[in-house]
Structure 1
Amino acid sequence: MLEINHVQKNFNDQVVLKDVSLTGQPGQLIHISGENGSGKSTIFKIITGIIKPDKGNIAIAPQKTIGALIENPGFLEFESGLTNLKFLANLNHHYDEKKIKKLMSGFGLNPENKRAVSKYSLGMRQKLGIIQAIMEKQSIILLDEPTRGLDQESLKHFATLVTQLKEEGKLVIIASHSFDHDLSYDAWYRLADGVLIREK
């Protein structure tokens, strides 16, 4: 479904990625760990096409779509959570209000609440970011530090949600500092000195 082949990336004179290779298949959950600035977000940006690699290539199976939460998600700050998700889904003509409201409620967000996103806490913004990454039946889901700011109840719901995505045949890749032992990973990698090393 996804192949990353010997990707390299420099920013000015700084080498961020020296040699990154990874293969992901439907129904897999993959974890990438690494320190701040190690290049985890850069890998995701290359997969999504936001930036181009200096060397190497990315291969994605035909008809596969990508959903991503990368770094700090951007929203229409003075609109509600539901309005934001509706706007984002309508960009690809995949707006399913029933599904989106169910996803919001699952994370304890009231879809009818008109509160502006600018008033949201970090955890609430993270929840919206996770929802926008999965709400359009995306095949490949990239989640960058997805559990930042989530309370215990939301962490449990997140683990359940990721398990469901795996069962639906999605490829889910989570990048974070810490390893979440509540999730059943199929493979995990460590990014250090620009090299992606498989730990399992």
Structure 2
Amino acid sequence: MNIQLSSISKTFNQRLILNQIDFQAESGKLIHIVGGNGSGKSTIFKIICQIIEPDSGTVFLSDDVNLGALIENPSFIEDRSIKANLSFLGKIKKQFNEERVINLVSRLGLDYDNKLKLSKYSLGMRQKVGIIQAIMENQNVILLDEPTRGLDKEALAEFNKIIGELIEESKTIIIASHDNLADLQFDEYYSLEEGRLQSS
């Protein structure tokens, strides 16, 4: 399993966001991309997910890549419950394992049967739902954009445990954030500054 970006560039509103980016991810690696707000972290993820196209360069995903992603502010059916949202998302790929989903929801301190609309969820609660949808279908490549934003101490500790378990299952996980996430043991580190991605 492999992801490869070669000479990727992207401009928005005449501002060069990504400048000749080269990046590769292999199976079972925990990778960290550090960059400030607006540095282009989310843009890289959107290009990998083929949500947007680069202005130049090539994107290669091997045939066995099954992507799960939390990018920027996750979108949900705002007037529906967590159960309705996750079951709806699960039916798209027809890989919905409700037992696994209930376990993840419980581990992150949420109630699967809560009828509360997602529009009423706090930032941290929404972030938890975003994490769950990115990993609930046994995805083997997981992109997490600022995943710890809004998480309390208990949820952060559980998140770190879940990441460790996924790596043991040889999942590839790429986390983009503005801080160093010191509690996770990354295999590879990259910094994104002024459009350039550098191994560090």
TM-score bucket of the superposed structures, by smaller chain:
over 0.9
Structure 1 gap ranges (5+)? none
- SS for the counterpart of 2:185 is coil
Structure 2 gap ranges (5+)? none
| Alignment match, 1:71 | 72
Deviations 1:77-117, CA, capped at 9 Å, x for gaps: 11111110000110111111111101100001111111111
Distance apart, 1:184 and its partner CA: 0.7
More moved, 91-100 vs 40-49 = 91-100
**Cα separation, 1, equivalents of 2:58 and 2:138:** 25
* Residue-pair matches, total: 199
**Cα separation, 1, equivalents of 2:174 and 2:25:** 9
**Cα separation, 2, equivalents of 1:147 and 1:96:** 24
- SS for the counterpart of 1:91 is helix
- SS for the counterpart of 1:31 is strand
Distance apart, 1:58 and its partner CA: 1.2
TM-score of the two chains, using structure 2 as the length reference? 0.98
1:134 aligns with 2:131: no
RMSD: 0.7
| Alignment match, 2:38 | 37
Distance apart, 1:11 and its partner CA: 1.4
TM-score of the two chains, using structure 1 as the length reference? 0.98
- SS for the counterpart of 1:22 is strand
Distance apart, 1:60 and its partner CA: 1.0
Distance apart, 1:167 and its partner CA: 0.7
Q: Return the letter of the residue paired with 1:82.
A: K
1:58 aligns with 2:59: yes
**Cα separation, 1, equivalents of 2:70 and 2:11:** 22
Q: Return the letter of the residue paired with 1:196.
A: L
More moved, 139-148 vs 6-15 = 6-15
Q: Return the letter of the residue paired with 1:114.
A: K
Runs of 4+ in 1 over 2 A off after TM superposition: none
1:194 aligns with 2:165: no
Distance apart, 1:139 and its partner CA: 1.2
| Alignment match, 2:102 | 101
Q: Return the letter of the residue paired with 1:110.
A: D
Percent same amino acid at aligned positions?
A: 49
